[in-house]
Amino acid sequence: MKQKEFIATVLPFKDKLYRLAKRILVSGDEAEDAIQEVYLKLWKGRNKIGNYRNPEAFAVTMTKNYCLDRLKSKQASNLKIVHNNFQTSENVEKKIEANDGVQLVFKIMETLPEQQRIVLQLRDVEQFEFSEIAKMLDSNETAVRVNLSRARKTVREQLIKKHNYGIS
Amino acid sequence: MELAKIEKLLDAYFEGNTTLAEEAMLRDYFAQDEIAPQVAMYQPLFVGLVAAKEEVSDRELKLPKNQFKIKNWWYAAAASVVLAIGVAGFVFSEPKLTQEEQEALAAFEKTKEAMQFMSKNFNKGAEELTYISTFTETKNKILK
């Protein structure tokens, strides 16, 4: 596979992978590093990419595994996750500025367990079908739905709590 | 959209039982301004989910330039072939002199021959002169 062809195949979902990596690793810088690594791996195995029916799903799985590994090795070496660059993208920043509640939602999402964060990201942000997510996570649809429901309910609880106390 | 339907969709949403189309309806509902106060607290969630998708990576990917390496190798091979041809051409074309050079070479040879002939004759004369030294020796013997 030539470089041009490779880029045409894998570049369209670069941002998706980045958002997933950032959802897991929290830091934007680390997410950028992670997808760089993932793309290097994809590039090394580029001749096999053609054999996969769905390169995007394959890349998502790879990104998820890589980021979880990073997280594990980080926790093992007792490093704290830095998220000084919570908002990197300007357009997102503008949207968030207009709404304190949205900022809160992002904060709540950070507190979810990794698996729930991943499912929420893939379903509610990237809008993949349950069957696709199940394949990406090497799981089944029921498990995905359960995880997703838990994630959504946690966000709801936190939102209601804040709503009742009054955030503004 | 009427509130009852939204509330029903929300219930299904939190149970993980909505389809992608239904979730899109919820996002659309919360993206507009007229939201029923009963469900207003969910607005940040759906606005946030839409906003989260707008985030993009702004770092360029760096891929190894494998193919350029191969190209460079070919450049090197091509350059050495050209060089070899150049050197070989120079070496093999040397004996082939132009008309003018050949004439000059012939003239040079002729001149050399003539010069040598002349110097031989000079040397002949010089040989005769050795008798003079014999004469001087004999004279010295006698006169002392």
Q: Among all chains, which residue has been given the structure tokens 């606005």?
A: B47
Q: How confident is the model at residue A87 (pLDDT cuts 50, 70, 90)?
A: very low
A51 & A128 share domain: no
A94 & A59 share domain: no
**A 48-87 residues inside an 8 A Cβ radius of B:** none
Closest CA to A112 of A148, A162, A164: A148
Nearest CB to A3 within list B23, B48, B67: B67
Predicted confidence (pLDDT) at residue A112 exceeds the cutoff of 90 = yes
pLDDT at position A104, please?
87
Residue A39: count of CB within 10 angstroms of its CB: 22
Nearest CB to B44 within list A36, A92, A99: A99
Q: How many CB pairs under 8 A join A and B?
A: 102
**Residues in contact with A20: Cβ distance below 8 Å, sequence separation at least 6, in sequence order:** A60, A63, A64, A67, A118, A121, A122, A126
A35 & A20 share domain: yes
Inform me whether the C-beta atom of residue B17 falls under 8 Å from chain A C-beta atoms: yes
Residue B62 CA neighbour count, 13 Å, CB half = 5
A127 & A63 share domain: no
> Phi/psi of residue B53, each to 5°?
-80, -10
Predicted confidence (pLDDT) at residue A77 exceeds the cutoff of 70 = no
* Boundary of a domain, candidates A55, A85, A115: A85
Helices B3-15 and B20-31: angle between axes, nearest 10 degrees: 130
- Containing structural domain, residue A73: 1-85
A62 & A92 share domain: no
How confident is the model over B103-131, as a mean pLDDT?
Answer: 87
Phi-psi region for residue A138, left (φ > 0), alpha (ψ -120 to 50) or beta? left
Q: How confident is the model at residue B112 (pLDDT cuts 50, 70, 90)?
A: very high
A91 & A72 share domain: no
Query: Which amino acid is located at A142 in the chain?
Result: T
Question: Terminus-to-terminus CA distance in chain B, angstroms?
Answer: 154
A58 & A92 share domain: no
More confident: A109 or B127: A109
CATH number of the domain to which A141 belongs: 1.10.10.10
Nearest CB to B14 within list A100, A126, A153: A153
Contact A31 B51 (CB under 8 A): no
pLDDT at position A7, please?
85
* Boundary of a domain, candidates A53, A70, A85: A85
A1 & A81 share domain: yes
A97 & A57 share domain: no
Query: Which amino acid is located at B99 in the chain?
Result: Q
User: What per-residue string of b and e applies to A85-107 under the rule 16 or more CB within 10 Å gives b?
Assistant: ebbbbeebeebbeeeebbbbbbe
A146 & A135 share domain: yes
How confident is the model over B61-80, as a mean pLDDT?
Answer: 76
A141 & A168 share domain: yes
How confident is the model over A85-109, as a mean pLDDT?
Answer: 66
* Boundary of a domain, candidates A51, A67, A85: A85
Tens digit of each residue's pLDDT (9 = 90 or more) over B8-55: 999 999 999 999 999 999 999 999 988 999 998 899 899 999 999 998
Using CA coordinates, name the residue in chain A closest to B39.
Answer: A160
Closest CA to A22 of A78, A72, A89, A104: A89
CA distance A25 to A22: 5
Inform me whether the C-beta atom of residue A6 falls under 8 Å from chain B C-beta atoms: yes
**Number of domains, chain A:** 2
A38 & A48 share domain: yes
CA distance A113 to A108: 11
